[in-house]
C-alpha cells in the first residue's frame, strides 16, 4: 500500500500574502548543470513521474513563512491532509499518527533548506537544469477565486516556483464559476480547502472516491479511470482483498467501502491511515496549513456562536439588546441554496438557518457543543438486526410546518434523502448516504426508485436502516444534505433562487434576494422552535472583497465579516482586539492538482 510511488504533494497557498512578501530563495547545494535522466513513456510511468513532480513542487514552499508572515491567523503548517484536531479512536490526534507519526514531509523550520534541495534533485530527473534553474519545465496555470487574499497567495507561489525557473500564470474566476470549473476538472492546479463535515476522519477521505461530486482532483475520472497502477492489500485486516495494479475504483473506492463497513475501531482507523497514504502518494493534494476561522464581530452582538465545522449561528443573537436586524457578510453569492447541492461552508451557514433536520448542532450553557434532536422528538439508539444492519426509528415533533404553512411529514424526509442520494440529481454529497442500506441501487432517472432503506411509516414516523453501526450518524443527521425538502417545491425550475418559490422549514425564510448584493432572512413563525429565535432579520450581504468587508465593518454597516485584508491583520489585532477573532476549525488549506494533467516537458 505504501509502495505506491513517492509520497506526496505539490504547490501551495495561503489566505494571503503580506504586501511585499517575496521570501529570499534558499541558497546552495543545487549547482551543476544536468539533463533530464528519466524519460517516461507509458501511461503508468508518466503518472508515477507526475506524482513525484507534484510532491517536489510542494517541497519548494516554506509553510512556516506562510503562516507567520503571510496568513498570520495562528494557523499551523500542515504535513497531512486529514486536519489537525481530528480525533483518533483512542482520543488522540489522527494527524499526529499519519505515516507512522512522521506526517508526509517535515514542517520543521530547520528542515526547509533540505526540503528545497530534495525538490531540486527530484525535478532534475525530469527537467533540464542549467546549474541555477530548470529550462524546459512547462508553464503552469494557477486557478483561484476572485479575492485579493487569494491573488496574493498566487503571487507567492509564482515567486517560489520562479526561484527554480518554473513559470506559473494566474487565472481568477468569480466564486460560483470557480467552483464549477474545479468540479468539472477544467484546470491544472487550483487553490482549495476542506473543512470537516463531521468529527470523523472519513469525511476527509471519502470525498475522493470515483463518483464523489467533491472529487475535484478527478481521481478515477477521465483518463485516470482506466489507469491500473494502484495496489491494495487488506489481508492483514482479515479481509480477502488483495489487488495489484488495479484502477482507482478497484483499490481506493474498495478501501473506503471497507472502512465504512468496519466496526472494529482499531482496524477502521488503521485503514483510514492507509487511505490517506494512498491519497498522498499521488501528490495531487498539497496541504499547506491547518485552518483557523478568522472573522470580526461587533461587541454589540450577543448570543452568537460558531462550531469547528465552520458554521456560524445567529438565531439567538441580539444587537444592543434588541433582536430587530443583523447585517453580516460571509462571502459572495452562494453557488446554490439547495440543501442537496450545496458544498460550501458559507452556503451551509445560511442553510442551517433556513432548514431544520432531524438533528442540529447546539451550544450548551457551558459553551460546549453537542448534536441534539431538532425535528425529531429524540435521537434514539439503533436496533441491531440479525444481519448486522442497524435500524433507527424517528418520531417527528407535533405540528411541524413548512414556511408556507403546509404540514411537514416523514415522507418529506424520505423524498429528500432519496433525491439527494440519486445519480439523477448528481449531488456533490450523494455519497454521504452510502452508510444507508440500499445506496447505489436505483433507476437512473427516477428518484422515487432509489432503493435507499428509508421509509415513512406514517406521517410522523421515519424508519432508516444502516449497513452497520456508524459512530457519526447523528452528526450526519445535522448536516444540510440530510435536511428535508418538499417534492412539489423542488420540482419547480429555479426554486432555490427566488424568495417566492423558496419554501423551507427552519428558523428563517428568504424574504428578499438581491443577487450579488444581499439575501434577507426573516424569522419564520412556522418554525417549531420560533420562541427561541431572538433575531427577527438577518441580512446576508454578499461580497468577496475583503477591503469592502472591512470598510463596512468599521462603519458599523456590517456587524460580522468573515474575511479581512491580510495587510491589515497586524493593525486589526491591536486596534480591534475584542472584535478580531481567531477560532478553532477542523480543516486543511491545500492546493489540488488535476490528476489528468501532464507536468512533463513537451517533446
CB distance 232 to 241 below 8 Å? yes
Can you tell me whether residue 335 is helix, strand or coil?
A: coil
Average pLDDT over residues 166-193: 95
Q: Which pTM was predicted?
A: 0.91
Instruction: Quote the Cα angle for 96-97-102, to 5°.
Output: 75
Domain count, the chain: 2
CATH number where 144 lies = 3.10.105.10
pLDDT value at residue 469: 95
Q: Has residue 581 been placed in a domain? A: no
Distance between CA 341 and CA 176 in Å, rounded?
A: 13
Lowest-pLDDT range of 63-67, 134-138, 492-496, 590-594:
63-67
Judgement on whether residues 251 and 321 belong to the same structural domain of the protein: no
Average pLDDT over residues 169-188: 95
Judgement on whether residues 284 and 321 belong to the same structural domain of the protein: no
Judgement on whether residues 281 and 307 belong to the same structural domain of the protein: no
Average pLDDT over residues 569-583: 95
pLDDT value at residue 24: 58
pLDDT value at residue 66: 87
Distance between CA 559 and CA 553 in Å, rounded?
A: 6
Judgement on whether residues 204 and 347 belong to the same structural domain of the protein: no
Judgement on whether residues 447 and 547 belong to the same structural domain of the protein: yes
pLDDT value at residue 156: 87
Judgement on whether residues 341 and 467 belong to the same structural domain of the protein: yes
Residue 19 has pLDDT above 60, yes or no: no
CB distance 532 to 314 below 8 Å? no
Judgement on whether residues 321 and 284 belong to the same structural domain of the protein: no
Residue 305 has pLDDT above 60, yes or no: yes
* Digit-coded pLDDT (tens) for 224-272: 999 999 999 999 999 999 999 999 999 999 999 999 999 999 999 999 9
Provide the pLDDT confidence category of residue 72 given band limits of 50, 70 and 90. confident
CB distance 332 to 514 below 8 Å? no
Distance between CA 333 and CA 350 in Å, rounded?
A: 11
Q: Has residue 227 been placed in a domain? A: yes
Residue 433 has pLDDT above 80, yes or no: yes
Q: Has residue 576 been placed in a domain? A: no
Residue 25 has pLDDT above 50, yes or no: yes
Mean pLDDT of the chain: 92
Tally of CB atoms within 10 A around 386: 5
Residue 7 has pLDDT above 70, yes or no: no
* Digit-coded pLDDT (tens) for 517-568: 999 999 999 999 999 999 999 999 999 999 999 999 999 999 999 999 988 9
pLDDT value at residue 424: 86
pLDDT value at residue 320: 98
Q: Has residue 571 been placed in a domain? A: no
Lowest-pLDDT range of 321-330, 445-454, 537-546:
445-454
pLDDT value at residue 449: 53
pLDDT value at residue 22: 54
Residue environment code for 575-600, b if the CB has 16+ CB neighbours within 10 A, otherwise e: ebeebbbebebbbbbbbbbbbbbbbb
Q: CB-based contacts of 289: which residues, under 8 Å, 6+ apart?
A: 14, 63, 66, 67, 71, 75, 76, 77, 78, 588, 589
pLDDT value at residue 14: 29
Judgement on whether residues 268 and 370 belong to the same structural domain of the protein: no
Judgement on whether residues 252 and 375 belong to the same structural domain of the protein: no
Q: Has residue 387 been placed in a domain? A: yes
Q: Has residue 603 been placed in a domain? A: no
Provide the pLDDT confidence category of residue 600 given band limits of 50, 70 and 90. very high
* Digit-coded pLDDT (tens) for 453-491: 999 999 999 999 999 999 999 999 999 999 999 999 999
Judgement on whether residues 255 and 403 belong to the same structural domain of the protein: no
Judgement on whether residues 141 and 219 belong to the same structural domain of the protein: yes
CATH number where 461 lies = 3.40.190.10
pLDDT value at residue 440: 82
Tally of CB atoms within 10 A around 365: 5
pLDDT value at residue 195: 96
* Digit-coded pLDDT (tens) for 385-410: 999 999 999 999 999 999 999 999 99
Distance between CA 477 and CA 379 in Å, rounded?
A: 10
Q: Has residue 20 been placed in a domain? A: no
- Half-sphere exposure of residue 321: CA atoms within 13 angstroms, side-chain side: 0
Judgement on whether residues 234 and 340 belong to the same structural domain of the protein: no
Residue 17 has pLDDT above 50, yes or no: no
> Residue 549 is part of which domain span?
299-558
The grid coordinates of residue 40 equal: 517516461
CB distance 52 to 6 below 8 Å? yes
pLDDT value at residue 602: 80
* Digit-coded pLDDT (tens) for 363-381: 999 999 999 999 999 999 9
Residue 23 has pLDDT above 80, yes or no: no
**Residue 50 C-alpha from the chain's centroid:** 24
- Work out the percent of the chain whose per-residue pLDDT is above 90: 85
The grid coordinates of residue 496 equal: 432555490
Q: Has residue 481 been placed in a domain? A: yes
Residue 29 has pLDDT above 90, yes or no: no
CB distance 313 to 306 below 8 Å? yes
Provide the pLDDT confidence category of residue 441 given band limits of 50, 70 and 90. confident
DSSP state of 66: I
Tally of CB atoms within 10 A around 139: 9
CB distance 233 to 163 below 8 Å? no
Amino acid at each position: 500500500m505504501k509502495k505506491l510511488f513517492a509520497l506526496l504533494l505539490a504547490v501551495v497557498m495561503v489566505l494571503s500574502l503580506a504586501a511585499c512578501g517575496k521570501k529570499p530563495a534558499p541558497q546552495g547545494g543545487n549547482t551543476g548543470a544536468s539533463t533530464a535522466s528519466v524519460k517516461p513513456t507509458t501511461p503508468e510511468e508518466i503518472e508515477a513521474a507526475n506524482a513525484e513532480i507534484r510532491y517536489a513542487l510542494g517541497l519548494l514552499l516554506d509553510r512556516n513563512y506562510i503562516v507567520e508572515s503571510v496568513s498570520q491567523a495562528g494557523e499551523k503548517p500542515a504535513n497531512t491532509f486529514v486536519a489537525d484536531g481530528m480525533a483518533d479512536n483512542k482520543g488522540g490526534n489522527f494527524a499526529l499518527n499519519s505515516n507512522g507519526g512522521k506526517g508526509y514531509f517535515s514542517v520543521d523550520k530547520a528542515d526547509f533548506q533540505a526540503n528545497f534541495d530534495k525538490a531540486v534533485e527530484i525535478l532534475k530527473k525530469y527537467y533540464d537544469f542549467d546549474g541555477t534553474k530548470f529550462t524546459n519545465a512547462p508553464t503552469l496555470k494557477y486557478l483561484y477565486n476572485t479575492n485579493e487574499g487569494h491573488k496574493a497567495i498566487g503571487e507567492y507561489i509564482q515567486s517560489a516556483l520562479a526561484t527554480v525557473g518554473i513559470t506559473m500564470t494566474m487565472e481568477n474566476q468569480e466564486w460560483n464559476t470557480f467552483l464549477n470549473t474545479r468540479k468539472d476538472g477544467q484546470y491544472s492546479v487550483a487553490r482549495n480547502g476542506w473543512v470537516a463535515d463531521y468529527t470523523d476522519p472519513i469525511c476527509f477521505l471519502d470525498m475522493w472516491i470515483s463518483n464523489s461530486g467533491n472529487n475535484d482532483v478527478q481521481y478515477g475520472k477521465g483518463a485516470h479511470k482506466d489507469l491500473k497502477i494502484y495496489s491494495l492489500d487488506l489481508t492483514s485486516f482479515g479481509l480477502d482483498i488483495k489487488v495489484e495494479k488495479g484502477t482507482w475504483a478497484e483499490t481506493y473506492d474498495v478501501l473506503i467501502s471497507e472502512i465504512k463497513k468496519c466496526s472494529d475501531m482499531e482496524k477502521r482507523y488503521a485503514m483510514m491511515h492507509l487511505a490517506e497514504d494512498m491519497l498522498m502518494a499521488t501528490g495531487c493534494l498539497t496541504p499547506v496549513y491547518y485552518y483557523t476561522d478568522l472573522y470580526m464581530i461587533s461587541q454589540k452582538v450577543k448570543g452568537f456562536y460558531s462550531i469547528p465545522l465552520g458554521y456560524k449561528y445567529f438565531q439567538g443573537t441580539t444587537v444592543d439588546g434588541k433582536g430587530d436586524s443583523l447585517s453580516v457578510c460571509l462571502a459572495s453569492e452562494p453557488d446554490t441554496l439547495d440543501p442537496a447541492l450545496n458544498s460550501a461552508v458559507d452556503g451551509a451557514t445560511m442553510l442551517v438557518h433556513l432548514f431544520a433536520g432531524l438533528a442540529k448542532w447546539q451550544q450548551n450553557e457551558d459553551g460546549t457543543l453537542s448534536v441534539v434532536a431538532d425535528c425529531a422528538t429524540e435521537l434514539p439508539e439503533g436496533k441491531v438486526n440479525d444481519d448486522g444492519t442497524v435500524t433507527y426509528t424517528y418520531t417527528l415533533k407535533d405540528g411541524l410546518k413548512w414556511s408556507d404553512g403546509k404540514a411537514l411529514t416523514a415522507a418529506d424526509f424520505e423524498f429528500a434523502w432519496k433525491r439527494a442520494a440519486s445519480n439523477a440529481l448528481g449531488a456533490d454529497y450523494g455519497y454521504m448516504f452510502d452508510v444507508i442500506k440500499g445506496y447505489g441501487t436505483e433507476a437512473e432517472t427516477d428518484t422515487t426508485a432509489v432503493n435507499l432503506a428509508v421509509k415513512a411509516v406514517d406521517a410522523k414516523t421515519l424508519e432508516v436502516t444502516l449497513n452497520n453501526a456508524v459512530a457519526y450518524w447523528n452528526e450526519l443527521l445535522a448536516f444540510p444534505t440530510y435536511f428535508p425538502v418538499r417534492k412539489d417545491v423542488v420540482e419547480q425550475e429555479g426554486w432555490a433562487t427566488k424568495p417566492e418559490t423558496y419554501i423551507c422549514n427552519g428558523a428563517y425564510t428568504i424574504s428578499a434576494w438581491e443577487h450579488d448584493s444581499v439575501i434577507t432572512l426573516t424569522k419564520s413563525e412556522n418554525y417549531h422552535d420560533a420562541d427561541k429565535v431572538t433575531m427577527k432579520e438577518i441580512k446576508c450581504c454578499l461580497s468577496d472583497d475583503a477591503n469592502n468587508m472591512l470598510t463596512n465593518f468599521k462603519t458599523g454597516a456590517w456587524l460580522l465579516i468573515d474575511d479581512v485584508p491580510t495587510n491589515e491583520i497586524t493593525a486589526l489585532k491591536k486596534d480591534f482586539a475584542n472584535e478580531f477573532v481567531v477560532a478553532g476549525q477542523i480543516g486543511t488549506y491545500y492546493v489540488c492538482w488535476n490528476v489528468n494533467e501532464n507536468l512533463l516537458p513537451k517533446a
